[in-house]
Amino acid sequence: MKKIFVLLVLVNILLNGCDNKVVYPLAQVSDGTNGNVNALAVFNGNLIAGGSFTNAGNISASNIAQWNGSTWSAMASGLNNSVCSLIVFNGNLIAGCPNSGIFQWNGTKWTQLVVGKSNNYLFTIYNNNLVVGGGFDSIGGIKAANLAQWNGSVWSQIDTGSNDGFSSLATYNGVLVVAGSSLMMEGKSYNFIAKWNGVSWATLGTGIIYESDPVLFVNDTNIYMGGVSGFSILIDSNWNSVTVAANTMYTSNNITDFCLYNGNTLAVLYSSTLGPNTVGSSIIKCGETSFSYFESPLESVNGGINAMIQYQNNLIVGGGFSEVGNTSVLNIAQYNGTTWSPL
């Protein structure tokens, strides 16, 4: 039995090509995916899951698959490398694969937009262009320092780019917002976050306290930034910080993702020391000055959550885990407002 456990862990770690969160042994259920889910999107009424897997449910699917609310199906022959990011742009689905490039799905076939490698491909839409951030010096045949945009036919660099890669991109109040641990734009250093108005760069707000790979999220009216120890919300040009209080089961609190669900801004609280396990995640609700736990706090997920999204009134979470609460799942699960279940 011990040999089987070790083999399952090794298989899952090898499949995990986009993050370093530990993947737990496969649960004994037939649904879900047989490897990490790294990104989620909704396209043409279907839930899209991208990651590092070869099966979704009982069908073969190479790193990406679609769910219509009851069954999984493949998307042509899929993609040959791990998928780390997804976005819908100009009526097409865009997928980022750090080991091979950027791909476009029109509903029936895949087209490769970019050939190349990056430590990651981050997406947002700004001024009707697809904006891509990552760790690259060229993209689509042009020179670009870690930041570029695509109008649907032509690639161009945004200003002079950045000296380093980014951890997150967003669009907020008509400006492009970028975040990273070490930002240098036009020779000027920024404190983890900067905004671009189409002409020049500037600081976005004051009072930032996070310094390790901050993540951004924009809901209907506000912009949030998550990082070590908690999250901040921009209020009247000032970042109001909310510390997620330490619990005896946690030695670290790191916000790694956000989503909007039934009007609530949710965040993933990731820990590297949760109880007897090595990693775990909880979901919290974010307020302007406080937070609360969403459902089954502390031991809600026995691994890392990489992505969250609302689909057909359900909350979908994807990552590398085998249990949500007391429910066995395979790296992806849904919450209907009362209970968790596998997909």
Does pLDDT of 11 surpass 50?
A: no
Q: What angle do CA 260, 94, 166 make, to 5 degrees?
A: 70
Tokens standing for residue 105: 């799905």
Instruction: Compute the average pLDDT of residues 122-129.
Output: 98
- Report the C-alpha gap between 113 and 94 in whole angstroms: 9
pLDDT at position 15: 37
Give residue-wise pLDDT tens across range 55-112. 999 999 999 999 999 999 999 999 999 999 999 999 999 999 999 999 999 999 999 9
Q: Where are the alpha helices (DSSP H) in the chain?
A: 2-15
d(CA 118, CA 228): 24
User: pLDDT band at 189, cuts 50/70/90?
Assistant: confident
pLDDT at 297 exceeding the cut of 80: no
Say how far apart CA 16 and CA 220 lie, in whole Å.
33
Region 276-305: mean pLDDT is: 77
pLDDT in tens, 26-40: 444 568 999 999 999
| pLDDT of 277 above 80 | no
How many Cβ atoms sit within 10 Å of the Cβ of residue 30? Answer: 10
User: What are the DSSP calls for 297-332, one per residue?
Assistant: -SSSBSSEEEEEEEETTEEEEEEE-SEETTEE-SSE
Q: What is the mean pLDDT of residues 288-307?
A: 78
Q: What is the pLDDT of residue 298?
A: 46
pLDDT band at 250 (very low <50, low <70, confident <90, very high): low
Q: With 50 as the cut, is the pLDDT of residue 24 above it?
A: no
What pLDDT sits at residue 5? 30
Confidence tier at 210 by pLDDT (50, 70, 90): low
Higher pLDDT, 14 or 312: 312
SS3 20: coil
Residue type present at position 280: G
- Give the model's confidence band at 278: pLDDT under 50 very low, under 70 low, under 90 confident, else very high: low
Q: Could you write out the three-class secondary structure of 119-174? A: CCEEEEEECCEEEEEECCCEECCEECCCEEEECCCCEEECCCCCCCCCCEEEEECC
What's the pTM?
0.89
Indicate whether 207 pLDDT > 50. Answer: yes
Strand order of the β-sheet with 254-261 is 254-261, 264-271, 280-286, 291-293
pLDDT at 209 over 70: no
Residue 213 pLDDT grade (very low, low, confident, very high; cuts 50, 70, 90): confident
Task: Name, in order, each residue with C-beta under 8 angstroms of 12's C-beta and a sequence gap of 6 or more.
Answer: 23, 24, 25, 26, 35, 36, 320
| Averaged pLDDT score across all residues of the chain | 85
